[in-house]
Amino acid sequence: MATLVAFHAHPDDECLLQSGTLAMAVDAGHRVVVVYATGGELGQAPDGLLAPGERLVDRRRREAEESAAATGAQRIVWLCYHDSGMDGSPENDDPACFWRADVEEAARRLADVLAAERADVVTYYDPNGNYGHPDHVQVHRVGARAAELAGTPRALEVTWSRENAMKLMAEARRNGIGGFDAESTDVDLNLEDPNVTFGTREAEITTRVDVARWLDRKRAAIAAHASQVGDTGPFLAMPPDMFARALSTEFYVRRDLPPGTRDDDIFAGLA
């Protein structure tokens, strides 16, 4: 069996993008390790959620553990960088934040995890971090370099299908699901605009993993991150059929495969 190391920026990033794949991998007998670059200290929690004196970072660590219990992931690793905040925020300038981390040093820390785990597969985000968040962009840079340093046999970029996201948002708006209007998403998905960088065009996606059998586990992983309901709530509000259409497929790019490849197994060909 193989070992998968899934590298993410903040607790909850794994749940929408990849938790179905993680659950499927565990059920197939593979070892799954989730590595978080930051504790998500700058996430937005609903008013009144935290107990008196409770820190958001501590709550988010517990939520990450609950998410791992839902998927079956066997280990969580924290690289312990500070959350960098959204693009353009003052927190981007914090020398302790992940965005400001030396790529080589951070990659070495991740590579040490890959080596210790004898990872067969490592996943990280596409070059724009799916939507431009500084920590997500840094996950791509650090993840790609760590794979090189550790000699990990297979590296995949976790991404969204841009076309699939457009269909999802349009359907959600038609059905009155809040949180998918242009003002709340901050995402322009005009496929004809060459400057759009959200997700990846279908033509560039090499690997599509069908996780329909694991949707209950995926929903549980999403629900585990209760402090981030502002981001995950619109998905949890979807009726089951819409939820399935939105999240039954998880998307990856393998740069070592030729254009036009259609793969459905991130572990294919590994011993």
pLDDT score of 179 = 62
159: pLDDT strictly greater than 70: yes
pLDDT score of 57 = 95
69: pLDDT strictly greater than 80: yes
What sections of the chain are H helices per DSSP? 13-27, 56-71, 103-117, 134-150, 162-174, 182-185, 215-224, 229-236, 240-247
Query: 46: phi > 0 → left, psi -120 to 50 → alpha, else beta; which?
Result: beta
Q: How far apart are the first and last CA of the chain?
A: 7
On average, the pLDDT of the chain sits at: 91
Higher confidence at residue 27 or residue 130? 27
- Residues 160, 176: Cα–Cα separation, whole Å: 22
pLDDT score of 177 = 73
Q: How confident is the model at residue 185 (pLDDT cuts 50, 70, 90)?
A: very low
pLDDT score of 174 = 80
pLDDT score of 164 = 83
- Angstrom CA distances, 143 to 70, 110, 111, 157, stand at 25, 7, 8, 9
Give tens-digit pLDDT for 247-258. Answer: 999 999 999 998
259: pLDDT strictly greater than 80: no
Q: Which CATH architecture has domain 3-162+200-253?
A: 3-Layer(aba) Sandwich (3.40)
pLDDT score of 252 = 97
pLDDT score of 170 = 77
pLDDT score of 75 = 98
pLDDT score of 126 = 96
pLDDT score of 166 = 80
- The tokens for 167 are 């269909």
pLDDT score of 173 = 79
Give tens-digit pLDDT for 190-241. Answer: 555 556 668 898 889 999 999 999 999 999 999 999 999 988 988 898 889 9
**Which of 38-47, 142-151, 159-168, 187-196 is most confident?**
142-151
pLDDT score of 135 = 97
153: pLDDT strictly greater than 80: yes
pLDDT above 90 covers a percentage of the chain that reads: 70
- Residues 182, 111: Cα–Cα separation, whole Å: 39
In this prediction, residues 41-47 reach a mean pLDDT of: 91
Which amino acid would we find at residue 117? E
Q: How far is CA 24 from the centre of its chain?
A: 16
Q: How confident is the model at residue 178 (pLDDT cuts 50, 70, 90)?
A: low
Which residue shows structure tokens 């040490």?
Answer: 112
186: pLDDT strictly greater than 50: no
pTM: predicted TM-score of the whole model, two decimal places: 0.92
Extents of the domains making up the chain: 3-162+200-253
pLDDT score of 184 = 42
